[in-house]
Structure 1
Amino acid sequence: MRPLRYSINVTLDGCCDHQVGIVDDELHRYWANSVERADALLLGRVTYEMMEQAWRPTATGAWPEWMADWMVPFARAIDGAKKHVVSSTLERVDWNAELVRGDLATAVTRLRQEPGAGIFVGGVTLPLALADLGLIDEYEFVVHPVLAGHGPTLFAGLNDRIALTLVGRQEFSSGAVALRYEPVRDPA
């Protein structure tokens, strides 16, 4: 079964506002490599639309003028990735994407049963639902040495506590730290 990996940037005070973290070439390379190791992305509507607006090339195939050269590998990785979008409001998607409809647990279990190296999930709302269903196999938090003081926080409203075991750690020159955890599974 393909593992479902949740990955997100978060500040020291637990916020995940994408506009307050560190933006540098080292972290973009890290995220590009992470996305390239997955077979597909699983995104909620809000994250899909945000990623599409930021990382999809223009109709001419050019990258937006604001994008630095060191951001292009990440943009290419996101652009080329197969995307599964969970939404009850979108009528259609494109950008190498398909809609996921119906019961979330059934749909995600079906995706995980397909052959491959893994599914990468981001965002805030969808991962909360997936965590409540016990479907996330790995949690990755890239903690930025910033106090945001605002923005959405992770797992607000989680139904039950989830115990995690640290399985990996990587430090960046910016002071950010990537921490990877797996849920502690009952041996029963």
Structure 2
Amino acid sequence: MRTLTFGMNVSVDGYIAAPGDDIGWSVPSDELFQWWSDRVAATDLSLYGRKLWETMSPHWPTAAQQPGVTPAEVEFAHRWLAMPKVVFSSSISAVDGNARLVTGDAITEITRLKAEDGGPMDIGGATLAAAAVRAGLIDEYVLATAPVLVGSGTPFFPALDNWVNLNLVETRTFPEGVVLTRYETRR
């Protein structure tokens, strides 16, 4: 059975984006960017919601050829392109690159993917991840918490009907006061 991880940059008050989908506060340090890049390299399959796909897919396919690109960005671009992706959306009709589109029930497909043999999966996109959180499908949470309060916006965690008990498995401090915490779901 595969494991499923939900991880993102998050504000201290729990948001992954400020109002207007502003993520300017979450620009990672070089060290944190490398951590995320290494995570992509270790991920067997990434699950994307529509908005996250529409943010990532226009940029990373050509990022390695852009002026002023850093070696770390080139490395991430190659890793991102190579990683298989599943995009969940009922409003787009096609995806490209190393991705396939699922327009049906996300929870049914994620449950099926988790039951397969294979390496770890990551999930991203607030709406998609919220559905997986509420369905109890997340095995691990990774929060890279930036020292900023944004007040409102897109929350990392959805409203829940029941508690989810977690075990802390890693903490790490990055430059600029970002604290990474990694939790496993207690089953």
Residue number in structure 2 paired with 1:49: 54
Residue number in structure 2 paired with 1:103: 105
Residue number in structure 1 paired with 2:93: 91
Residue number in structure 1 paired with 2:80: 78
Residue number in structure 2 paired with 1:2: 2
Residue number in structure 1 paired with 2:20: none
Structure 1 regions of 5+ residues with no counterpart? none
Give CA-to-partner distance per residue, 1:102-149, whole Å, 9 cap, x none: 222221122112222211111211110001111111111111122233
Q: Report the aligned-residue RMSD.
A: 1.8
SS in 2 for 1:46: helix
Preserved CA contact (<8 Å) 1:44 1:125 = yes
Preserved CA contact (<8 Å) 1:143 1:176 = yes
SS in 2 for 1:169: strand
Preserved CA contact (<8 Å) 2:13 2:150 = yes
Preserved CA contact (<8 Å) 1:8 1:123 = no
Mean Cα deviation higher: 16-25 or 135-144: 16-25
The whole-number CA distance in structure 2 between the counterparts of 1:65 and 1:161 is: 47
Mean Cα deviation higher: 109-118 or 153-162: 153-162
The whole-number CA distance in structure 2 between the counterparts of 1:63 and 1:45 is: 25
Q: Which has the higher helix share?
A: 2
- Which one of the candidate residues 34, 43, 46 is aligned to 2:39? 34
Q: 1:150 deviation in Å?
A: 4.1
The whole-number CA distance in structure 2 between the counterparts of 1:46 and 1:169 is: 29
Distance 1:159 1:100, change over 3 A: farther
Q: Which amino acid aligns with 1:27?
A: L
Q: Does 1:112 align with 2:114?
A: yes
Q: 1:66 deviation in Å?
A: 5.9
How many residues are aligned here? Answer: 182
Q: 1:2 deviation in Å?
A: 0.7
Residue number in structure 2 paired with 1:142: 144
**Matching of residues 6-25 of structure 1 within 5 Å:** 6-17=6-17, 18-25=23-30
Mean Cα deviation higher: 6-15 or 157-166: 157-166
The percent identity for this pair of structures is 38
The whole-number CA distance in structure 1 between the counterparts of 2:52 and 2:26 is: 17
TM-score, with structure 2 as normaliser: 0.88
Structure 2 regions of 5+ residues with no counterpart? 18-22
- Which one of the candidate residues 127, 130, 135 is aligned to 1:128? 130
Q: 1:163 deviation in Å?
A: 2.0
Q: Which amino acid aligns with 1:48?
A: W
